[in-house]
Structure 1
Amino acid sequence: MLRVGAVTACVGIFLAGADFAVTALIGNQTARQLGELSSVALRRSEAAIDSAGVILNRLAIAGGMDCGENALQALRLHVYQGTIIKDIRTVDRDGSVACAAYPETLEFDNGWARRDQMFTSADGQLRLFQVEQFTGAAFGVLRDIDAQRSLAAILRIDGNLLDVMPVGLRAESHVTLTLPDGEQVAGYHPDASAKPPAQTLAFSTTSDRYPLQATIHVRPQSLSARHDMAYLLTMLAAGMLGGVFGLLLASYLNRPVDPVAELDRALAGNEFKPYLQPIFSLRTGDVVGCEMLARWEKPDGRLVPPMSFIPLAESSGRIEKLTWQLLSTALRELQPEMRRDKLFKLSVNITPRHLLGDSFIDDLRQVVASSSVSTRQVVLEVTEREELPDLDKATDVVKQLGEFGFRVALDDVGIGHSGLSYIQRLGARTLKIDKFFVDAITRDQSAVVVVQMLVALARELDMSLVAEGIEHQAQVDALIACGVEEGQGYLVSPPLSLPRFKQFLEVRHAVTGAAQIKQPELAA
């Protein structure tokens, strides 16, 4: 792993350096090119305004726009033959329209800009504004005739003018034309419904004649030179050099790592964290407890599942220290909830070897006592997957635990080493039905029979039952029909870290409280 890590790190460093160098070389060139393209878009827009200004100026010199039908007909022909102007209107100083080349376009207007909302050109001859229409924003140019009347042209500035991007960047860019207040009066993208993404690079050019700014918004990744052959060759060479350097470095650093020493380091660093999965009532959904599970949170953020370290912890004798460390943390963090709800129980997995240890009971009592939690709220789950080496001693330990108030549960019932005599002799107070039977209960009648037998056995021995691995409501219904009362599984929640589990409980309490308040109101 060290050799792989060293090589990977060196290759990454060399590639990052090469990428930075190549990017730095082409960055200025790309910015200059896109800046020039935004200038092209702006010049096209200025030309459109110039064209409209010429027409409005010609009409103003002639005394304005004659609202007679013949004059409007001639004007409509003029507008129709053009490519820039969609409509020309005579407007009063307050913005009311006296007449329009195409009166039907007035139906699209949702409002008209006031003069104080318009922006004046550098020579003072024209005013630019935005017209809100239900089909979208339109761009207008206004030219005064006299102190009372003005001419307004509604322009057609669209993709024909703003489509300036090369083919390779067209789909990854947006071109916009905006007024000084930031309002967009025109824009272009091949997909007309698309909007500029949140993260873009912007290249803008501002007009020195009109209050306009053309901006090209480009996705940063679209400017990458990664598809350029020179870039690829450079990165290939950098990767090879990094790999060679990494191998040389690894030859000095590569030493075997002792996995047991790694466990000791993790224990000393409190890297093992308790994760909690709720145990709930099948009928009401109320959370009645939780099972504590171990997770290894590495300093780099990786989460190591229990099967990757629990067997080593057991075989190396570290499981006892690991268990007490996790249990202490869980009891300390859950103490407020356990003291608020005296029926809330925390279950912890105990290996048979740990259960039969000479100081197990004393150590357990000390850990629980330090948390000020009742012993009746702690459940010890002994797995059936591993055979108890000394059943007589185990029976005696379970008896002593019961005398101190602890409850013992037999985990993975139905697939392990135990038989009926084993369950009866051990004296456990809870049976946990293995996920194997829960998975099959909705499709295999034999699984239903097994669960019904376990329910009958639990009632005969005055034991409680918990079903594990519940993922679907159909399984809940089948378990209830068999007589099972409690369960756990992803249907309600996966194992959660302590902070997330406490948030989960807060939400459940809030929902339950709201339901209790609402129920009397409904009765009334």
Structure 2
Amino acid sequence: MSSQRKYVIRIAAVATSLAAFLICTDLALTALTRDQISRQLSDLSKVALRRSEAAIDYAGAMLTQMAERGVMDCSAGALQKLRLQVYQGSAVKDIRAVDRDGSVICSAYSETLEFDNGWAKRDDMLESADRVLRLFRVEQFTGAALGVLRDVNAQQSLAGILRIDANQLDIMPIRLRAQSDVTLALLDGQPIAGYRPNGGQSELSDAISFTSVSDRYPLRAIIHVNPSALSTRQGGAYLPTMVAAGVLGILFGLLLASYLSRPLDPVTELDRGLSAHEFKPYLQPTFNLKTGDIVGSEILARWEKADGRTVPPMSFIPLAESSGRIEKLTWQILALALRELQPELKRDKRFKLSVNITPRQLLSDGFVDRLRQVVAAAAVSTRQVVLEVTEREELADLNKATAVVKELSEFGFRVALDDVGIGHSGLSAIQRLGARIIKIDKFFVDAITRDQSAVVVVQMLVALAGELDMGVVAEGIEHQEQVDALIACGVEEGQGYLVSPPLPMGRFKDFLELRRACSGEAPKASPELAA
């Protein structure tokens, strides 16, 4: 997959993910906000209805109390008492005596009768659920009012006139007030009262309605609200939520882009990297534990991809070994390292350059000849090249391996056993193979300052190496205490982050110059290079 195509895929993945997160979040917020506001408005319509029911209950109680006294005779004294009762009340504005068909007989304030624009007949009045009261609309000069009728006997009834104050219906939250209205109406559709802060409009265009119907009276409360008022974008939490969604969308898009741009076939991608010479030698120095002098370096492979990413060895070495690509990879980085470090190797004949090889590669046909050709092409002495045989896999043919190691030694190459102590080789294999160096694994170095058994193992390996005339190198040294413990065990050389991590070629050369300028100092980390 070309770098340009990967770039396009990544941009498309991030853009798509960002758009999807923003759209889905907007839709979710809209749905959630609409649901919350809808439930709030439904509850508010119930509040308006309950307030109206309370006024009707008050009027009904007053009329029931008067009905229990008997028929009203409409005398001057009786009307005077009636006016006093209305005056002392709050919701009821007038009380009238009516006959059976609903016609007015007399009124507490008879002078207001001439301003009525209509009076409902009994058959037009709506019964309450308990059939005790009847509700009807009263048209007055000041606007609509609510009439509540209560029968006294078969011939006479009492009717109370309620003026439902608009302020009783002022229940809307500030954010919705300018885009909504509240209406109280009978079940036959006749409006009784309303609160309209939106300029007195009778209806809002394309309004959404929320209605609550009384289960006791033929009455309903209706809230009309402009659809735009339900928009989540008007909420204070909308922008922060969308920003958070955008960040999550970008992060998810980056993960998706990484997934989509990965090689569909890892082996094919490995082959592509080999063809493009993307595998580079990184070098970790080997130093004398007592003096700190740099005596050599180990070549370690890193995959520097065209997009600038550096892939660590554990992400590709096992695949390279299992797929048979490790040999080609090893020859590439060895040839490049020898060519780049040739001046240093010429300058210091004691400097050793080591490279890892697998047992399979050691036993492969033509290995010795190929190695000689690579070293000769770089004009480097064979005595400066160390072959570290890894013990991640077992030597399939110890006899052949011994013969190959002997032939390598005859040409001046040195062979080291890597990962000694945790690999496949036993003591007999170490003795027979003819290797010249033992490399103690980091596992024992890590434990040597806190576990006496690790000290015993290291001492045993040093003693074995002494008997077989072999050198010993400790790997993974990170602390001065480990250096002191290794020296006490008889180890002379080591490598690890205490002095330097694996470095690319340019930085390794700078490191050598810096160490050369500081020669004679005890081994210690170089801050500017160990970062």
Q: TM-score, normalised by structure 1?
A: 0.53
1:374/1:474 CA distance change after superposition, 3 Å: same
CA offset digits 1:417-442 (Å, max 9, x no partner): 21221001100000001111111111
Q: After the TM superposition, which residues 452-467 of structure 1 pair with which residues of structure 2 at under 5 Å, given as runs?
A: 452-467=459-474
- Equivalent positions of 1:156-235 (< 5 A) are 231-232=239-240
Match of 2:446 in 1: 439
* Aligned residue among 6, 10, 20 for 2:15: 10
User: Counterpart of 2:404 in 1: which secondary structure?
Assistant: helix
Alignment of 1:320-359 (within 5 A): 320-359=327-366
Change (3 A) 1:258 1:244: closer
Match of residue 513 from structure 2: 506
Which has the larger Rg?
A: 2
Q: Flag the 1:495–1:235 CA change in 2: closer, same or farther, 3 A.
A: same
Counterpart among 477, 485, 491 of residue 478 in structure 1? 485
Q: 2:290 aligns with which of 268, 283, 290?
A: 283
Pairs within 5 Å for 1:49-64: none
Tell me: CA distance 1:443–1:228, structure 2 relative to 1, closer, same or farther (3 Å): same
**Separation in structure 2 between the aligned mates of residue 254 and residue 15 of structure 1, nearest angstrom:** 20
C-alpha contact 1:279 1:288 (8 A) present in aligned 2: yes
- Give me the whole-angstrom Cα distance separating, in 1, the residues matched to 2:490 and 2:340: 33
CA contact (8 A) 1:8 1:243 kept: no
1:66 maps to what in 2?
none
Q: Which amino acid aligns with 1:329?
A: L
Q: Call closer, same or farther: CA 1:245–1:399 in 2, change over 3 Å.
A: closer
Amino acid at match of 2:294: V
| Cα separation, partners in 2 of 1:4 and 1:393, compared to 1, 3 Å | same
- What amino acid maps onto 1:342 in structure 2? K
Distance verdict in 2 for CA 1:234–1:463, change over 3 Å:
closer
Once residues 256 and 481 of structure 1 are traced to their aligned partners in structure 2, the CA distance between those partners, rounded to angstroms, is: 49
Q: Is the 8 A contact 1:346 1:379 kept in 2?
A: yes
Offset of 1:315 from its aligned partner? 1.6
CA 475–240 in structure 1, closer or farther in 2 if over 3 Å, else same: closer
Q: Structure 1 runs of 4+ off > 6 angstroms? A: 1-4, 15-18, 236-250, 253-256
RMSD: 3.7
Match of 1:363 in 2: 370
1:310–1:249 CA distance, 2 compared to 1 (3 A): closer
CA separation of 1:472/1:513 partners in 2, compared to 1, >3 Å: closer, same or farther? closer
CA drift at 1:316? 1.4
- 1:402 matches 2:401: no
Cα separation, partners in 2 of 1:439 and 1:242, compared to 1, 3 Å? closer
Superposed, 1:57-206 pairs within 5 Å as: none
Checking the alignment, whether the CA contact within 8 Å between 1:260 and 1:316 is kept in structure 2 is: yes
* Paired amino acid for 2:15: C
CA distance in 2 between counterparts of 1:422 and 1:483 reads 22
| Residue identity opposite 1:457 in structure 2 | L
**Structure 2: distance between partners of 1:467 and 1:406:** 20
Q: Cα distance, 1:9 vs. partner?
A: 2.5
Are 2:383 and 1:376 aligned?
yes
Verify the 8 A CA contact 2:13 2:253 in the aligned structure 1: no
Equivalent positions of 1:23-42 (< 5 A) are none
Query: CA separation in 2, counterparts of 1:511 and 1:371?
Result: 29
Match of 1:182 in 2: none
Partner of 1:309: 316
| Aligned twin of 2:429 | 422
Give yes or no for contact 1:433–1:467 (8 Å, CA) kept in 2: yes
- Shift in CA distance, 246/470, structure 1 to aligned 2, threshold 3 Å: closer
User: Which SS does the other structure have where 1:438 is aligned?
Assistant: helix
Q: Is the Cα contact below 8 Å between 1:11 and 1:242 reproduced in 2?
A: no
Residue type matched to 2:276 in 1? G
Aligned position for 2:269: 262
Question: How much has 1:245 moved relative to structure 2?
Answer: 11
> Once the 2 structures are TM-superposed, how far is the Cα of residue 301 of structure 1 from its aligned partner?
1.9
1:363 counterpart letter in structure 2: R
Report if aligned partners of 1:408, 1:430 keep a CA contact under 8 Å in 2.
Answer: yes
Task: Choose which of 385, 388, 391 in structure 1 pairs with 2:395.
Answer: 388
The amino acid across from 1:378 in the alignment is V
CA deviations over 1:500-524 (Å, ceiling 9, x no partner): 1111001011112899xxxxxxxxx
Offset from partner CA, 1:32-61 (integer Å, 9 cap, x none): xxxxxxxxxxxxxxxxxxxxxxxxxxxxxx
Query: C-alpha distance in 2, partners of 1:244/1:412?
Result: 40
Question: Secondary structure of the equivalent of 2:303?
Answer: strand
- Compute the displacement of 1:254 (Å): 9.0
Deviation at 1:10, TM superposition (A): 2.1
Q: Is the 8 A contact 1:15 1:238 kept in 2?
A: no
1:380 alignment partner, SS class: strand
SS in 2 for 1:512: coil
Could you tell me how far apart the structure 1 residues matched to 2:249 and 2:288 are?
61
**In structure 2, distance between residues paired with 1:486 and 1:255:** 41
The answer to whether structure 1 residue 274 and structure 2 residue 281 are counterparts is yes
Shift in Å, 1:298: 1.7
Alignment partner of 1:462: what SS?
coil
> Contact between 2:293 and 2:520, CA under 8 Å: does it hold in 1?
no
Structure 1 distance, partners of 2:256, 2:297, is: 51
CA distance in 2, matches of 1:513, 1:353: 41
The residue type paired with residue 13 of structure 2 is T
| 3-state SS of 2:416 partner | strand
For structure 2, the 5+ residue unaligned runs are 24-234, 523-531
Deviation at 1:307, TM superposition (A): 1.2
Deviation (angstroms), 1:256: 7.3
CA distance in 2 between counterparts of 1:326 and 1:469 reads 22
Residues 283 and 300 of structure 2 are in contact (CA less than 8 Å); yes or no, is this contact kept in structure 1? Answer: yes
Q: TM-score, normalised by structure 2?
A: 0.52
Is the 1:7–1:247 Cα contact (8 Å) retained in structure 2?
A: no
* SS across alignment from 2:518: helix
Q: Which amino acid aligns with 1:350?
A: I
**2:466 is equivalent to residue 448 of structure 1:** no
Q: Structure 1: 5+ residue runs without aligned partners? A: 19-226, 516-524
